[in-house]
Amino acid sequence: MRAYERLMKYIQFDTASDKHSETCPSTAKQLVLARALAEEMKGLGIEDARVDGNGYVYGSIPANAEKLPAIGLIAHMDVVNCVPCAPMNARIVERYDGGPLTLDSGDVLDPAVFPDVAGAKGKSLIVTDGRTILGADDKAGVAEIMTACEAILAHPEWKHGKICVGFTPDEEIGRGADRFDIPGFGAEFAYTVDGGRVGEVAFENFNAASGRVTVYGRSVHPGSAKNRMKNASLIAMEFCGMLPPAERPEYTEGYEGFFHLRDMRGDQEHATLNYIIRDHDRVRFEARKEQFQDIAACLNGKYGAGTVEVEVKDSYYNMRELFEGRMDIVERAERAYRKAGVEPFHEPIRGGTDGSRLSFMGLPCPNIATGGMNFHGRFECIAAEDMDVMATVIENIVCDKG
Dihedral angle computed from the Cα positions of residues 62, 181, 392 and 381, in that order, rounded to the nearest 10 degrees: 150
* Residue 266 CB-half CA count within 13 A: 24
Give the 3-state DSSP-derived string for the chain, with helices as H, strands as E and coil as C. CCHHHHHHHHCCCCCECCCCCCCCCCCCHHHHHHHHHHHHHHHHCCCCCEECCCCCEEEEECCCCCCCCCEEEEEECCECCCCCCCCCCCEEECCCCCCCEECCCCCEECCCCCHHHHHHCCCCEEECCCCCCCCHHHHHHHHHHHHHHHHHHHCCCCECCCEEEEEECCHHHCCCCCCCCHHHHCCCEEEEEEECCCCEEECCECEEEEEEEEEECECCCHHHCCCCCECHHHHHHHHHHCCCCCCCHHHCCCCCCEEEEEEEEECCCEEEEEEEEEECCHHHHHHHHHHHHHHHHHHHHHHCCCCEEEEEEEEECCCHHHHCCCHHHHHHHHHHHHHCCCCCECCCECCCCHHHHHHHCCCCCCEEECCCECCCCCCCEEEHHHHHHHHHHHHHHHCECC
- Active site (catalytic) residues: 78, 171
